[in-house]
Structure 1
Amino acid sequence: MDGQVELPVSLQKAQKSLGLCIKQRHEASKIRQVLSSHLGSQLNSSGHPLNRPLSLVDPAIDVEAASHGVRGLQREYLRSVRANIKARNEYAAISKEHHARRTGEDLESETQDFPQQSNSCLGMEAFIYLTMHQQKHERLRITQDYVDVLSQKPAATAEHLDPKVALRDVDSLPKVPPEVLHNASAGPAAGGTALKELVDLLEKSVLRAKMLLKKEQRLLAKVRADSSGSPESRGDRLQALGLTRNALINWIEAEMEKAGDGSVDVEDEELSNHDAGGKDYIEAQLASIQRQYGRYIEARQSLVTSATSISEPPVSTTKEEDSNVPALTDDSRPSQGMQIFYPYLEKLAFTANEQKAAIQQRSHLTISLAKQVKEASQGLDRLADESHLLPAHPMPTASSQRKGLEGPLSFNGELLNHEKPDSSARGRAWVYAAESAGTATKNAITEQLEEGGKAMEESRNSVSGLYHLLGYETQDDGLRKTGLKKDIWTALDGALGVIKGDGAEAR
């Protein structure tokens, strides 16, 4: 209350004068209830409920008869009621005259059918009646407009009433989705059968895919057969095999000529070195060369025969020629080819087994090493997260780049190292951090020792100075007091001792 601003004197006087008229909200509502009950008892003495609010007073009530013996506010209220009734009567008369002039005789004839009403309800009834007539006129006018439009159209014929003709210019409605129709027709049972239908559709789609796959495979086999059986491709293959065979024969002959030259050189050397050789030695060497060359000719013929038997297509012959050709030659060709390739096949099988075993061992070692590396990496990551040593002493990034003979890392190597961090690099980081921490600790201890040594030296100098002032002598085995008692003044420079000795002698 102290914080409120005080009102001016004039406003305080006005508030005091209006204090009797200003009431609280609950007090005002209570006063209204009392006044309404009192007025209701005065205006409706018979006790029947009023069908109108108090503001709409019925003009039929005799206000003059109830005005005797009334004083104060009730007298003023009755005077206002009489003025209101008089004004409403005048308004009703004027509105009636105006309405009569406007509507004329039709309105007067229709108003005679209505019962006689009071002057207070005459104006309201007339307004309602006029509004109803206006709405009816509007409806009739709209109906007449539609009738006029229909009258302008041609007469109704069978073609005119045909829906196709009538709806010719109308856009077609969109089709209802089949899902909606299916759901509407299926009803609640559709939810249970939806899964079964989906499974059936899936099986049909899988079967259709299998059939298409088989059809494509048959077409592919047919195309391959056509391409492999064409004479052009066979001719190309035969030409290529012929060229390969000629190149192989030329190479073998060149190698044999080299081998023959080498054998002649060796023979000349042996003849020059060994005097015991003669015609017998030469004949023996020539016989061995002939045997080797014969074996070479046989091997070459068998190789060429096997290559031609494999590469050449079967020639169409008649039944008589087939009967004349002996079956032994056909069987001998594959057998000779197998005899040539069999030793190599055994070696290839042995080599393949060895490679397979090596690959399996390598994969086992790789898997075991990868597991160990993964465990080690996880342990290093956990220790790196918990450690305070690595953040304090990080490893410089420049040291990770290899230099020297190997050269710097390539882009691919850097990318692989970024994607798969090396465990050795993590270990090097720990080693570097430990060495850095040890070096830092060693430097700190060295600095502390140096500072301690300096402090001890300073304290030793101070103690020695104090001993020197006090007259003590210091030796290697420690400080000890001298046997003779000396005065403190004997340590001073000058002739004080001499002066003191002279004084003692004079005594």
Structure 2
Amino acid sequence: MQPCPVPDIDRALSPYIKTREETLKVRQTLSKYLTASLRPVNAATQNQHLNHETPHSLGAVGTNPPGLKGTRGAYLEAIRTNKAARTKLQRLQASLEDLQQRHAVDFPIHDPAQETDMVQSYITLLRQRRRFAEMELVQTSLEKLLNVNPIEGLKDPRDRVKDSLGEQPNLPAERLESLANSESSASTILKLKNEVLEARSSMDRAKAGRNEVRSASRDAPTLAVQVYALSRAREEIQEWVQGELSKMDEESGFIEDASPVKRPVALPYTQDLASSEARIRECYNRYTASRADAIEGHRSLQQPPATRPENVDGVDQDRDIATQKASNTRSKLLIASLLPHLSHLARAHTSERLMLLQTIYLQNQISSADEVVSDSLARLADESHILPSGSRAIEPWGTVVTELEARNLESVQERLQSSRSNINNIATIVDLCSLQSKVLDSK
């Protein structure tokens, strides 16, 4: 590769000039990307020839990408239709320009090889026939278009002006020429000065009114008004987020109940929180009391009876037997006292297990709902282009809404100021017109 003789140009183009190996590698990467975009991939769409040249009779399929639906799909279809219409229009314009500029080529050129005028006249006749056939084809197409969509004749410009502006007003009873001839120059100058003074006074009044309006101090919004505005903004954001989430739920379907304990669907009812808390606390106290009794009974059963050393006398043996019988009787009484509490213990154990399972289920549901809300907020941030991509918090939405409200307030104030200035100008013009009409009436 020969370097450029100009050093500045060689230095500027050096980042864009690659070797043959690097260029071939870039072409191979591009050919792989192009082949992946073609459907279907067969022997005709292999990427070997794309490394050196671009195919001419090979194009991508006109189907939409898999994730493009709704408004974006319609927008892509509209772009394709617009591109096809522009291409067709360019072809028609090129054909019309060819027909218009054909006469420059159709002129007979003097050729020494053509010996007779008969050949030239015959060639001219053939060219005229071809042009006549093309003009007939164009005329037929235009007639068809006119028959499909007939064009109404253009109206007279005077009629169009009359329709838009209305009838012309009548002329005044006295001609201006007679008025000018009848009045003297001094009276005319005096009237003109009076009109100028009246116009100046009206302008001064308008300026004073404008300055008074501008200098009028506006009351600052109170704290209650600001709180109300912020609450309304928060409610609007919540309604919008809930609407988007409901749309997502309608598209994805209802979440199936994954709880291990299936409960019948109950109608919604209003529940008193104080009474519910009292019942739960009472059940828990009974559960702890029964559990303490059970533990105490179990400990009493585990304690061994008091034994005394063996004695050879028969009286000691009888005493031991009596003591053992008394301990057995006491243990039987303890077991009998525990029997009424077994149902409560079993029910408490079952309730504890059910509460544990329900707690695990609710934790899973809350975590899944949190993930769904975070993903929804991230997707909304990506689609709205208002927040940075991947934003999963609700606080940035409030900040963005506040900024948008501030911008809207500024634009509204600017438009209000411009409209007020326009109103003042119109009022000035109306005053001048009224003064002129009074002067004309006095004449």
* TM-score of the aligned structures, taking structure 2 as reference length: 0.26
- Which structure has more RCO (C-alpha within 8 Å, separation ≥ 6)? 2
